[in-house]
A and B are shown apart, each in its own frame.
Chain A
């Protein structure tokens, strides 16, 4: 458990505190159950060398065994050496198969038609190229794609729809970044990966926190109060959060909600998918 400070008068638990010894078997059991019940044994994932994909890999290996997990490095020409090295470190530590497939050719071929494309377009394109490779390898290897998006980035929409947000199942999507760090330490992820500055590495020198303009520690405290404890904005401001920060995060959550939902379907029948044709995905399994 993360140590928390409480005084005698206030025994409320820090909402970001997790008991890793409880969480680990839940997430391992989730991956094992959801992979095997649909007839698969294996998993593939994008091996970025970052903490999120590394933690997902540690969980998947515990669930399925190292021989059934394959990490795929998918560098672009601007990808950092550290990204590549940390990917290799994870693969070695876990004893899993590692593949390296460059996305430079297809990304460059596409943007040769659009040389003025913005950095954001290029970043999203790279993310989606990686998704197509993971889904092709999913078919090639009879393996499900393991997701690596955490709750923080899912909630604020810091991800590419149909890109890094795409997966068959995501063991870490209900863990804030702060909790990802705690569980990573608990499961033995190398310290170099836990301690480095988070980056999507989509352009040289990119870091998540510089791009977002706030730290994960700050936004996680806010999100845990707002989402998990249903605190109202005036309560958050009374907690000491800046009003502008509270508003900004609220807007990010709302305007990115489309990324967390299936495409809208125009209703004309009595049984429209999602609205009144409702089955669990695990239907029959």
Chain B
């Protein structure tokens, strides 16, 4: 049985919009300096007619926060959020911050804010990498929701870095009816054995895979700069629904990239390969349920 189409509140047909990524270099734990970086980028993007500006993961705080996590956190409507909200004017913005909950849990979070229609959505990173060079679960609480949300640009999905390395996140968002996927990241550059940086090869694979198999454009925002010897390589990108490169940022440089995302292009791709239409979500659910049932049965043995 085909999965029913999710009803959407988004007007249709939708107009093309000007999406951009601010590939910034945050300072580590210096909120004042990072807010200034955001306000500058917002002002310049607004002047250039950008409709949706996406900053990378933890763009307001920097990445290797460790014990600074609690010191730089704020509630989702805290003073930094308000400052960005105010500066954004008619432009929608996605940015990364440390969210403190009323019960003193700290989340690696990304917010979508749009004054037009007063739309606000916060995604809390579900998959906190805690292996090798990463130690996120030591400092952050894990999010527990993967949800799409309606905006004037269509229905959006928002993932934070490691979330995208779990294919289930993409599967859930596809079933939830997304039109555009935004992935914000702090990807460290490593792997220098081949022609391209290993991190770049991996993320090109991830973004193009999602774009191709979920039938959606993907906006990938990565940061640049160094923290304690670790480089963040940049290479932000905007990928069309069929997996074609619409814009790619250079490595290592502070810059902004942009592309016009036209829903008609996505429509064309979905006619060409209606993968999302044919997805058998009920079958997936049944099989997952069977696997869950089997594993519980095995545990009881």
Residues of A within 8 A of B (CB): 1, 13-15, 17-19, 22-23, 25-26, 29-30, 33-34, 37, 169, 277-285
Given contacts A13-B194, A19-B193, A22-B197, contact A281 B30 (CB under 8 A): no
Interface membership of B209, Cβ < 8 A: no
| A279 pairs with B67, CB closer than 8 A | yes
A279 close to B68 (CB less than 8 A): yes
Q: Check A29 against B252 for contact (C-beta < 8 Å).
A: yes
- Residue B228 lies at the interface, judged by CB distance under 8 Å to chain A: yes
A-B contact count (CB 8 A): 63
Does B213 sit at the interface, judged by CB under 8 A? Answer: no
Which of B28, B192, B231 has most A Cβ within 10 Å? Answer: B192
Within 8 A of A (CB), among B116-146: none
Output the residue of A17, A23, A37, A278 with the most chain B CB within 10 A.
A278
Name B2-29 residues within 8 Å CB distance of A: 27-29
| Chain A facing B: main interface SS | loop
Query: Min CB distance, A56 to chain B, in Å?
Result: 14
Q: Is A34 touching B226 in the complex (CB atoms < 8 A)? A: yes
Contacts A22-B197, A25-B252, A277-B67 known; A282 to B228 CB distance under 8 Å?
Answer: yes
A22-B197, A25-B252 known; A281+B228 contact, CB < 8 A: yes
Is the contact region of chain B dominated by helix, strand, or loop, or is it mixed? loop
Given contacts A23-B192, A30-B231, 16 further A-B contacts (CB under 8 A): A1-B195, A14-B193, A18-B193, A19-B192, A22-B192, A25-B252, A26-B189, A26-B192, A30-B226, A33-B226, A279-B68, A283-B28, A284-B27, A284-B29, A285-B28, A285-B30
Contacts of A23 in B (CB 8 A): 192
Residue in chain A with minimal CB distance to B229: A30
Measured between C-beta atoms, what is the minimum distance from B79 to chain A in Å?
19
**Contact indicator A19/B195 (Cβ below 8 Å):** yes
> Can you report 26 A-B residue pairs in the complex whose CB atoms are below 8 A from each other?
A13-B193, A13-B194, A17-B193, A18-B193, A19-B194, A19-B195, A22-B192, A29-B231, A30-B229, A30-B231, A33-B226, A37-B27, A37-B226, A277-B67, A279-B66, A279-B67, A280-B28, A280-B65, A280-B66, A280-B228, A282-B64, A282-B227, A282-B228, A283-B28, A284-B27, A284-B29
The number of residues on chain B lying at the interface, defined by a beta carbon within 8 Å of a beta carbon of chain A, is: 24
| Cα separation A68 to B229 with both chains bound (whole Å) | 21
Task: Tell me if B75 counts as interface (CB < 8 A to partner A).
Answer: no
Within 8 A of A (CB), among B188-229: 189, 192-197, 225-229
- Residues of B whose CB lies within 8 Å of any CB of A are 27-30, 64-68, 189, 192-197, 225-229, 231, 251-252
| A33 with B225: CB separation less than 8 A | yes
The residues of B that contact A34 with a CB separation of less than 8 Å are 226, 229
Is there an interface contact between B66 and A29, defined as CB atoms closer than 8 Å? no
Taking CB atoms, residues of chain A closer than 8 Å to B227 are 280, 282
| A15 surroundings in chain B (CB, below 8 A) | 193
Task: Report the minimal beta-carbon distance from B199 to chain A, rounded to whole angstroms.
Answer: 11
Min CB gap A242→B, angstroms: 26
Q: Using CB atoms, name the residue of chain B closest to A20.
A: B192
Q: Report A-chain residues with C-beta under 8 Å of the C-beta of B192.
A: 18-19, 22-23, 26
